[in-house]
Structure 1
Amino acid sequence: MNRREKKANEKLLNIVPAVLALALLGSAAAQSVQVTRAPTASQAQTAQAQALQAAASLRPAVGGELRSLELPGFGTVRYYASDSGEGRPLVLTHSVNAAASSYEMKPLWDAYAGKRPVYSLEWPGFGQSDRPDTRYSAELMTQALLALVDQLDSDVDVVALSLGSEFAARAALEEPRIRSLALLSPSGLGKSRGGSQESREDGRSEQTYERLSRFEGPLYGLIRSRPSIQYFLGKSFRGPVPEEVVQYAWETSRQPGAVHAPLYFVSGTLFTPDAYDSIYSRLTVPTAVLYDQDAFVSFDRLPEFAAKRNVAAVRIAGTDGLPQWEQTAAVQQVLGDLWRQAR
């Protein structure tokens, strides 16, 4: 192995979470490692049929009606809809990780569904949306949110979680019908706390993706193991992790094609380089940042962001990245203040 190859491998190891090494010790993780081979035509047809059946069998993440929209060049994006209630429609967007879905936003769905129109978007590659083997990007995710707003054909309030905040902010720069943004523990406001939670410039994210894709089967098999899911969720909850959250993450990570989008996430290609200067600093819409501690992202530039007239930063004490689960009432209070400002 030459010096360049050794250095590349060291970088690869740095972005793979340490929990993967621990997961190797577990029999469940070991059983999940498989060697993938190119399928025959008949195998591909069978896999497609199985994918459709499995997608239909994934239980709903939240209540309401499951609807769809077509995204050109991608396929079907789905979202949950509850039309009852009064006021401006509320759009919820979950985070991006190895097992993301609208279930992450369930406490807010339950709090507002029936009181105002609520819609929860499943990002491309996650939840009930299609999960093809295609290129996932911040632009693709942003287009999904823009397509939903266009389909609703109404002014909306958006509540976004973690990396979803970057996509929501991008959309707000293009779509005037997004009247307010609530960003829960957003990425892009400081240095990441882990090698995989940031964009790599000069094409390095793409290079990382190419290296990771050689091991996508075994790698994702480890990431989606129940011990791994429990470990990562444990970093986002101050208290005990609800078993229902672990279970749904485990279920959604086993849908056909579930490996594809998370691989782009781990490689860093879904993150925006210098998101503060290129996205957040340009926002003029009323915006609230809800934060406390976060094991994966930091908020170094939050004071600068909060100095803008349209931005409020509110610390939700006692939370580690998922305030909507552990301090639902406090989050609702901040949201109510934001929406009154955005009338």
Structure 2
Amino acid sequence: MTILKDSTNQIGGKTRVFNWVWQDQTYRIMYEVREEGSPVLLLPAFSTVSTRAEMQGIAEQLTPHFQVIAMDWLGFGQSARPALNYQPALYRQLLQDFLRTQFDQPVAVVAAGHAAGYAMQVALQTPCPWSKMVLVAPTWKGPLRVMGAPTPVRDAVRELVRSPGVGQALYTLNTAPAFLKFMYRQHVYVDANKLTPEFMQQKYDITQQPGARYAPAAFVTGTLDPMQSHEEFLQIGRSLSVPTMVIIGEKSPGQSKAEMEALAELPGIQSSRTPGSLGLHEEYASEVTAIVLPFLRA
């Protein structure tokens, strides 16, 4: 473990490095630790602009009560961005190895978007690594899959974006600040007034790191979907034995919201609804934390 200068922090904590070994290669995984006490792991949503910084609001409000740890996924945020063939197995193993090396007892987790799907899968391990699980706007289908694009088309898009030259040009077009703002207004944020030039510049900067296009290309095309069907999503939900809370944004896109509602209706799963859409963990951090805190402290 390496501790870095605070200039690299995202949630106001101490930045550290987890040197993760995958298929005989070592990759730098950035994470942050804030305060002391019983630990809570924060997992940001997968997206083109995924970073642990989106969990800052929740982290700030949890730290008086818990030690907060937030991680950047491989290929996203400040973690390494190698030109790998990103697949769900990679992220499941990363999460399992991070938990095994960082915690000696079950830990509470707050996971957003696709990260919630991975948290659900890892919860099926014996023993379960989670003490409690909060799933914020849980999703399992990438954007192109939600749009109904067939597998050959999605695979072709992924490989095109990964290719040199043309791929970088296409990625550049799809990460321009104007396009990012359009996507945020469509299904990430509810209040367009919060999408200030400064906010969008921060999101744009995330996309401009070396190797930034590889993991997002896999996410957008559905390659990183943790589950492959609605039935699998619900079957895993039915198998959960850990206390689980599902938080649903009232303005979430219809298809995604229907999946969240179906999960929330399963026996044994608690649920709550707040303002917001798929980015509610960042946009409505106070409202989310107001739900999370009593659940974690109970």
- The answer, yes or no, to whether TM exceeds 0.5 is yes
Report the equivalent of 1:241.
194
Structure (1 or 2) with the greater strand fraction: 2
Report the equivalent of 1:134.
84
Which of 186, 209, 212 pairs up with 2:158?
Answer: 209
Q: 1:238 to 1:232 in 2, by over 3 A?
A: same
Q: How many Å apart are 1:70 and its aligned residue?
A: 2.4
Report the equivalent of 1:333.
290
Q: 1:211 to 1:127 in 2, by over 3 A?
A: closer
Q: Residue 289 in 1 paired to residue 246 in 2?
A: yes
Which residue identity lines up with residue 305 of structure 1 in the other structure?
L
Aligned pairs for 1:40-55 within 5 A: none
Report the equivalent of 1:315.
273
Which residue identity lines up with residue 160 of structure 1 in the other structure?
A
Mapped to 2, the partners of 1:199 and 1:178 lie a distance apart of 34
Q: How many Å apart are 1:245 and its aligned residue?
A: 3.6
**Paired residues of 1:170 and 1:279 also in contact (CA < 8 A):** yes
Q: How many Å apart are 1:133 and its aligned residue?
A: 0.3
Residues 152-199 of structure 1 show CA distances to partners (whole Å, capped at 9, x for unaligned) of 2232111111111111112222251211111111113xx77x534489
Report the equivalent of 1:164.
115
Which of 42, 45, 53 pairs up with 1:95?
Answer: 45
Mapped to 2, the partners of 1:238 and 1:200 lie a distance apart of 26
Mapped to 1, the partners of 2:55 and 2:201 lie a distance apart of 15
Q: Residue 150 in 1 paired to residue 107 in 2?
A: no
Mapped to 1, the partners of 2:156 and 2:113 lie a distance apart of 24
Q: 1:172 to 1:105 in 2, by over 3 A?
A: same
Mapped to 2, the partners of 1:223 and 1:150 lie a distance apart of 37
Report the equivalent of 1:112.
62
Q: 1:167 to 1:218 in 2, by over 3 A?
A: same
- Over the matched positions of the two proteins, sequence identity in percent amounts to 21
Q: What TM-score do the two structures reach when normalised by structure 2?
A: 0.83
Residues 79-109 of structure 1 show CA distances to partners (whole Å, capped at 9, x for unaligned) of 1112x233x2011111111111012111111
Which residue identity lines up with residue 273 of structure 2 in the other structure?
R
Report the equivalent of 2:135.
183
Which residue identity lines up with residue 138 of structure 2 in the other structure?
P
Mapped to 1, the partners of 2:220 and 2:147 lie a distance apart of 9
**Paired residues of 1:121 and 1:145 also in contact (CA < 8 A):** no
Q: 1:58 to 1:140 in 2, by over 3 A?
A: farther
Which residue identity lines up with residue 179 of structure 1 in the other structure?
S
Q: Residue 273 in 1 paired to residue 225 in 2?
A: no
Cα RMSD (Å): 2.8
SS at match of 1:261: helix
Q: What TM-score do the two structures reach when normalised by structure 1?
A: 0.73
Report the equivalent of 2:29.
77
Structure 2 stretches lacking a partner, 5+ long: none
Which residue identity lines up with residue 212 of structure 2 in the other structure?
A
Mapped to 2, the partners of 1:327 and 1:114 lie a distance apart of 19
**Paired residues of 2:160 and 2:167 also in contact (CA < 8 A):** no
Mapped to 2, the partners of 1:293 and 1:129 lie a distance apart of 31
**Paired residues of 1:319 and 1:326 also in contact (CA < 8 A):** yes
Mapped to 2, the partners of 1:208 and 1:89 lie a distance apart of 40
Q: 1:156 to 1:165 in 2, by over 3 A?
A: same
Q: How many residues align?
A: 281
Rg (Cα) greater in structure: 1
